[in-house]
Amino acid sequence: MPDSSSPTQLILARVEAFRRCDFGFIFDTYHGDSNFRRQFPDREEYVRYGWANLGKEFRIHACTILREEIDGRVARVIFSLEFELHGTQQGYAELAWLEDDGEGWRYRCGQKLMPDEFPVPADRLDFRHFDEALNKVLY
C-alpha cells in the first residue's frame, strides 16, 4: 500500500490512486466504520462502480494541501482539488477527517465547499470556514 504514514500523505496517495484509477486502493484507505464502507461493503463492487462512473471521465489536474491538524489518532486535512469530469473543468475544497486504525491513516468522512461557497480565497480557507458553512453535508 502506498504511503499513509501521515494524514497529508494519505490524501496525496488517494489523489494519485484516483489518477491511476486504482479504485481498490481507494476502497482500502476508507476507514472500516466510514459511511462509504456502509454504502459499499464489497471491495470488488466498488472497483466496478469506480470504473463505470469515474474511470474514463475523471481527471485530476491539481491537489493542494492547505491545512493539517493532528490530535492523537484523529486528524483533519483541508485540501483543494482541480479536476475535469465529463470534459468540464471543476474544483472544490474539502475538509477530510481521518483516523489512524492501528495500520495507518484511513479516510473517515469529508465535507466539500464549492468555489461559490468560499468565504475567502481557497489558500486562506481554515477549519472554521467549514464549521460555519450554511449547507453542511458530510459524506
3-state SS class at 116 = helix
Q: What is the pLDDT of residues 15-36, one digit of tens each?
A: 999 999 999 999 999 999 999 9
- Cβ partners under 8 Å of residue 114, min gap 6: 92
Q: What is the pLDDT of residues 31-60, one digit of tens each?
A: 999 999 999 999 999 999 999 988 888 999
pLDDT-based confidence at residue 3 (cuts at 50, 70, 90)? low
Across all residues in the chain, what is the average pLDDT? 95
Domain 7-131 has CATH 3.10.450.50: yes
Section 124-134 average pLDDT: 96
Percent of the chain past pLDDT 70, that is, above it, reads 97
pLDDT at 101: 94
pLDDT-based confidence at residue 128 (cuts at 50, 70, 90)? very high
The residue among 6, 2, 37 whose CA lies nearest residue 100 is 6
Check: CB of residue 70 under 8 Å from CB of residue 7: yes
Q: How far apart are CA 49 and CA 42, in angstroms?
A: 11
pLDDT at 135: 85
